[in-house]
Chain A
Amino acid sequence: AQSVTQLDSQVPVFEEAPVELRCNYSSSVSVYLFWYVQYPNQGLQLLLKYLSGSTLVESINGFEAEFNKSQTSFHLRKPSVHISDTAEYFCAVRLNTGGFKTIFGAGTRLFVKA
């Protein structure tokens, strides 16, 4: 069975500081990895995903995540956060042959302070 662990439930950070949101997964077979963002009172939006190829994937708003197979991690990073990045971030995995069934982590609430 697959599982996803997001190591921090809340991450407070000052504006313009760097941030890392940690995600570890467990799976005996190959997986696809996703990060979703949920802004207050909104649904989840796909931020970025790793399917294959380069282990470093980037989003359009400056976030990046690196797939580390040996450490079974997919940490999300941003070098300089903005107030508008305040949101909840969910890491998720799917078996690469398992269709749409998705295992979500419990979420990390990022709070950016001025």
Chain B
Amino acid sequence: NAGVTQTPKFRVLKTGQSMTLLCAQDMNHEYMYWYRQDPGMGLRLIHYSVGEGTTAKGEVPDGYNVSRLKKQNFLLGLESAAPSQTSVYFCASSRTGASQETQYFGPGTRLLVL
């Protein structure tokens, strides 16, 4: 039982390049989330999914797209990377969207955009 995994762990991009971050969970969770973590700030929600085939915008969605074609996978795409997207990206999942539900986090992807 691996929990939540993320690939890659680290990536360097040039401005304007594109990439996809992959998140996978093996807990059969319905809800999945993408957050970004910046120095001196808490985690901020980028996009989320309430089930296979669904996606929705979070707090800071601009410049990102997501897809959830399979229940266990949640992909985060950057079509044209900008230096402002330099951050640590965390994926998380939860069984339901209830307020008391625990979210389980992946180890993160460090992205540097030059």
By a beta-carbon cutoff of 8 Å, the part of chain A in contact with chain B is 4, 9, 32, 41-46, 49, 51, 90, 92, 94-107
Contact = CB atoms under 8 A, between A and B. Distances in A.
B108 to A, nearest CB: 6
What size tier do the contact residues of chain B reach?
A: 20 to 34
Contacts, number: 59
Contacts of B62: none
A98 B100 CA distance: 10
Contacts of B108: 41-43
Contacts of A9: 40
B107 A90 contact: no
B107 A100 contact: no
A105 B41 CA distance: 7
A76 B108 CA distance: 25
Contact of B107 (A43, A102, A104, A107): A43
Nearest to B43: A104
Contact of A107 (B42, B44, B97): B42
